[in-house]
Every structure is written in C-alpha cells, then in structure tokens.
Chain A
Amino acid sequence: AQSVTQLGSHVSVSEGALVLLRCNYSSSVPPYLFWYVQYPNQGLQLLLKYTTGATLVKGINGFEAEFKKSETSFHLTKPSAHMSDAAEYFCAVSDRRTGGFKTIFGAGTRLFVKA
C-alpha cells in the first residue's frame, strides 16, 4: 500500500528565507508524486508533479521539488519565502498501476511566513 509522510505539521520561516517542506513516500512501484497548496477556505491547487523524466521538477510560484528514489523523498523548496506563501501544503502519491487515478494525500504542513 502507498503512503505519504510529511515531516512537521507546522513550519515557520521569515520572509526571504528558504522554504523546505519535507515529504517521504512509501510505494512498491514507481510513484507519481505531487505537491498541492491550500489557501484558507479554498480547495487544493496543484503546485507541481513528478511522473517521469527529470527528477527536479519546477512548479508555480517559484517552488520546486526533487524526486530522490534512494531516499524515497520528494521535498518541496523555494529559495525565498513571500508572505503570500503562507498556506497549507500537501504532498501526495498515486499508483502508476491504476494510471494515477487514486491519490493518497499526506497530513499536510502549514507554512507560516514571518515579516
């Protein structure tokens, strides 16, 4: 069975500082991996995804993530945090065998950005 673990339910950074949100996954087959962002009172929005090919994936709003098979990780980073990045972030995994239809989400990490 697939699973996702996000390390840290809350992360706080200063504006301009590096953002690092950690995600580890468990999957018996090569996974599809995603990061979604959720702003207050809104639905989830896809930030970026890894399916095949280049392991460093760039997404919207300056975020990127690197798929590391040996570490079963897919950490999300952004070089310089903005106040507008404050939100909840979800790492997710899908099973290639089902064509990526069934997605398992992590528990989420709430990002706080201090002025």
Chain B
Amino acid sequence: DAGVIQSPRHEVTEMGQEVTLRCKPISGHDYLFWYRQTMMRGLELLIYFNNNVPIDDSGMPEDRFSAKMPNASFSTLKIQPSEPRDSAVYFCASSSTGQIYEQYFGPGTRLTVT
C-alpha cells in the first residue's frame, strides 16, 4: 500500500511568495495532521482534520498560514506571504479512528525561504 504522499519534496522560494504544500493521506484514514519540524522548536503540530473538518488549528503560527482538506484524499498547507523564518520541514501524517494512536508520516517537504 502507498503511504502518505507529500509534494513537493523540496521547495525553495523567495520571501513574499505564496507556497503550497500538498498531502495525500493513506486511503481509508480519517485523520490528517500537519506538523512543522525545525532545529529550534522541534516537531510542532500545526493543525489536524477529522473527516475533512479542521478540529484544532491552535498550532498554526499566524494568519499567513492556512490549511484545507477539500476531500478525504487531499490536503494543502498554504503560506502567504512566506518569510525566511518559515523555513522548515513540513510533515503530513494520517491515522484512522480505529488506530488513532498510530500516526503514519509522509516523507516531508523541506521548505527554504530566501
């Protein structure tokens, strides 16, 4: 079975540009999580969805960040406008109600904002 798929794997952009990160969860999973990993702050939960509905977005750093899940097989994390401090690895993870304790992570998107 395919795991969690993220695209792109690497993104380099200039400050002020819009960035869109994409995630395809594992088929059948009804929970989707977005995390950010940096050396300074470690792994932080940004937002999570259940059945395509955002449940907790308290980790979203500011209004420049937004996330959507238009259907069960696709989610986006958008940063507009991007800033150098947004440089990080962004992970998407999914899980199912029956195995909520087991989150399956994608390979991540390494974002560099210059």
Contacts and interface: CB of A to CB of B under 8 A. Distances in A.
A41 interface: yes
A49 B102 contact: yes
B42 A45 contact: no
Q: Which of A90, A99, A105 has the most CB of B within 10 A?
A: A105
Contact of B105 (A43, A94, A102, A108): A43
B12 interface: no
B48 A108 contact: no
B48 A101 contact: yes
Contact of A103 (B42, B45, B106): B45
A51 B99 CA distance: 11
Contacts of A90: 43
B79 interface: no
Given A43-B93, A101-B100, A107 B107 contact: no
Interface in B38-63: 42-43, 45, 48, 50, 55-56
A43 B89 CA distance: 10
B108 interface: yes
A100 interface: yes
B69 interface: no
A42 interface: yes
A99 B100 contact: yes
Contacts of B104: 46
A46 B102 contact: yes
A41 B105 contact: no
Interface string A18-48: 0000000000000010100000011111100
A101 B31 contact: yes
Given A43-B4, A43-B93, A44-B91, A103 B107 contact: no
Given A46-B103, A101-B100, 15 more contacts: A41-B107, A43-B108, A44-B91, A44-B93, A44-B103, A45-B105, A100-B100, A100-B101, A101-B50, A102-B45, A103-B45, A103-B103, A107-B42, A108-B42, A108-B43
5 contacts: A44-B103, A51-B101, A101-B56, A104-B45, A106-B42
